[in-house]
Amino acid sequence: MTSLTAVPAYAAPSSKAPLERTTIERRPVGEHDVLIDIKFAGICHSDIHQAREGWGEAIFPMVPGHEIAGVVTEVGSGVTRHSVGDRVGIGCFVDSCRECEYCRQGLEQYCVRGNVPTYNGRDKNGDPTYGGYSRQIVADENYVLRIPDGLSLDVAAPLLCAGITTYSPLRHWNAGPGKKVAVIGLGGLGHMAVKLAHAMGAEVTVLSQSLRKKDDGLRLGADHYYATGDEATFTELRAGFDVILSTVSAPLPMDAYLRLLKVDGAFVNVGAPEEPNTVNMFSLIGGRKTLAGSAIGGIQETQEMLDFCAGHGLGAEIEVIRGDQINEAYERVLNSDVRYRFVIDTATI
Interface residue list for Zn ion (CB under 5 A): 44, 46, 96-97, 100, 103, 111, 161
One-letter identity of residue 187:
G
Rule CB under 6 A: is residue 220 a binding residue for ligand NAP? no
Rule CB under 6 A: is residue 336 a binding residue for ligand NAP? yes
Residue 57, CB-side half-sphere exposure with 13 Å CA sphere:
0
Partner from ligand NAP, Zn ion, none binding residue 187, C-beta < 5-8 Å depending on class: ligand NAP
Show the binding pattern over residues 68-107: x = contacts ligand NAP (CB under 6 A), - = does not: ----------------------------------------
Rule CB under 6 A: is residue 45 a binding residue for ligand NAP? yes
Residue with nearest beta carbon to ligand NAP: 187
Partner from ligand NAP, Zn ion, none binding residue 181, C-beta < 5-8 Å depending on class: none
Shortest reach from residue 115's CB to ligand NAP, in Å: 12
Beta-strand pair 20-24/7-11: antiparallel
Specify whether the CB–CB gap between 314 and 196 falls below 8 A: yes
One-letter identity of residue 108:
E
Identify which of residues 92 and 153 has a Cβ nearer to Zn ion in the complex: 92
Rule CB under 6 A: is residue 49 a binding residue for ligand NAP? yes
Partner from ligand NAP, Zn ion, none binding residue 111, C-beta < 5-8 Å depending on class: Zn ion
Shortest reach from residue 49's CB to ligand NAP, in Å: 5
Rule CB under 6 A: is residue 186 a binding residue for ligand NAP? yes
Distance CA 16, CA 89 (A): 30
Rule CB under 6 A: is residue 227 a binding residue for ligand NAP? no
Distance CA 309, CA 170 (A): 14
Torsion (CA) 213, 219, 225, 230 in degrees, nearest 10 = 10
Identify which of residues 52 and 213 has a Cβ nearer to ligand NAP in the complex: 213
Beta-strand pair 341-345/318-321: parallel
Rule CB under 6 A: is residue 247 a binding residue for ligand NAP? yes
Identify which of residues 74 and 317 has a Cβ nearer to ligand NAP in the complex: 317
Rule CB under 6 A: is residue 329 a binding residue for ligand NAP? no
Rule CB under 6 A: is residue 208 a binding residue for ligand NAP? yes
Q: Which stretch binds ligand NAP (CB under 6 A): 11-19, 31-39, 40-48, 308-316?
A: 40-48
DSSP state of 323: G
DSSP helix/strand/coil, 207: strand
DSSP state of 205: E
DSSP helix/strand/coil, 279: coil
Rule CB under 6 A: is residue 58 a binding residue for ligand NAP? no
Task: Among 271, 298, 315, 323, indicate the residue that binds ligand NAP (CB under 6 A).
Answer: 271
Q: Respond yes or no on whether the N-terminal peptide bond of residue 167 is cis (omega within 30° of 0).
A: no
What is the secondary structure of 10-78 as a DSSP string? Answer: EEBSSTTS--EEEEE------TTEEEEEEEEEE--HHHHHHHTTTTS---SSB-----EEEEEEEE-TT
User: How many residues in total does the chain contain?
Assistant: 349
Shortest reach from residue 289's CB to ligand NAP, in Å: 20
Distance CA 310, CA 152 (A): 10
Identify which of residues 27 and 214 has a Cβ nearer to ligand NAP in the complex: 214
Partner from Zn ion, ligand NAP, none binding residue 117, C-beta < 5-8 Å depending on class: none
Distance CA 124, CA 216 (A): 44
Identify which of residues 201 and 251 has a Cβ nearer to ligand NAP in the complex: 251
Identify which of residues 124 and 278 has a Cβ nearer to Zn ion in the complex: 124
Which residues, 6+ apart, have CB-to-CB distance to 85 below 8 Å?
71, 72
Q: Quick one: which of 170, 309, 188 has its CA closest to 244? A: 170
Residues that bind ligand NAP (CB under 6 A): 44-46, 49, 161, 165, 185-190, 208-209, 213, 247-250, 270-272, 294-296, 333, 336, 338
